[in-house]
Copies of this chain bind each other. A is one copy, B any other.
Amino acid sequence: MDAADTPKQPTQPRRRYAKGEATRQEILDRTIEVLAKRGAQRTSLRAIASEIGITHAALTYYFGSLDQLLIEVYRHWDTREDPPPSLTRAPVEGMLDSARGNRDVPGLVQLYTSLCAAALDDNRGVVQDYIAQRFARIREEVAHSVRRCQTEGSIRSDIDPHAAAALIIAASDGLQIQWLLDGDAPQTEALALLQKVLS
């Protein structure tokens, strides 16, 4: 079919799609604000809808369920950097930079920790799948980065890259929580220590 015959058609669905995307985006942005105020654990799709001023039906239309909305909010923030820091820098340094950035968004660290807790609940399979796959993917990325550092000589060669990756990610996740709860917790020192003993 010749595009000249139907000049309007190719743009209309796209415009509608673009409008849907913009609405979706706006909901995600406003949900971040709501979660920062009320936490991710004791809320509901209905409460978020009411707070951001849309109907429960509209929120359900766009995201399906509270867990889906929470995942999308986190994913939106998590993938804002391209390529991910774990691929471009030395792995512990990348984690240190992320940790520094996360000081400004404690609500999102809380959302992440909350999603990790939810992932351990067998009744919340959609969160479980998302978090399990995210860990598997990041372990791969960090292991790749560890291997690169081993070739360059900045990480000792007698270390299994996969075990190192799991360790670096766990340390980074756990230290972030300790630090947000107690500004005096030695987060930077602990990550620097990890870098030192791995090198």
A contacts, CB < 8 Å to B: 38-41, 106, 109-110, 113-114, 116-121, 123-124, 128, 131-132, 135-136, 139, 156, 159-160, 162-164, 166-167, 169-175, 177-178, 180-182, 185-187, 189-194, 197-198
Q: Chain B's nearest CB lies how many Å from the CB of A40?
A: 7
A contact face: mostly helix, strand, loop, or mixed:
helix
Does B167 contact A190, Cβ atoms closer than 8 Å? yes
Verify B178–A171 contact, CB threshold 8 A: no
Cα-based distance from A132 to B184 in the complex (angstroms) = 11
A-B contact pairs, 16 of them (CB 8 A): A39-B118, A39-B123, A114-B117, A116-B177, A117-B117, A120-B177, A135-B178, A139-B178, A163-B193, A164-B190, A166-B187, A167-B175, A169-B178, A170-B174, A170-B177, A170-B178
Q: Which of B131, B136, B170 contacts A171 (CB 8 A)?
A: B170
Q: How far is the CA of A38 from the CA of B132 in the complex (A)?
A: 20
* A181 x B113 contact (CB < 8 A): no
How far does the Cβ of A48 sit from chain B's closest Cβ, in whole Å? 15
Q: What are the 7 closest A-B residue pairs judged by CB atoms, nearest first? A: A170-B174, A39-B121, A163-B189, A110-B120, A113-B117, A197-B197, A114-B117
Interchain CB contact (< 8 A) of A123 among B38, B119, B192 = B38
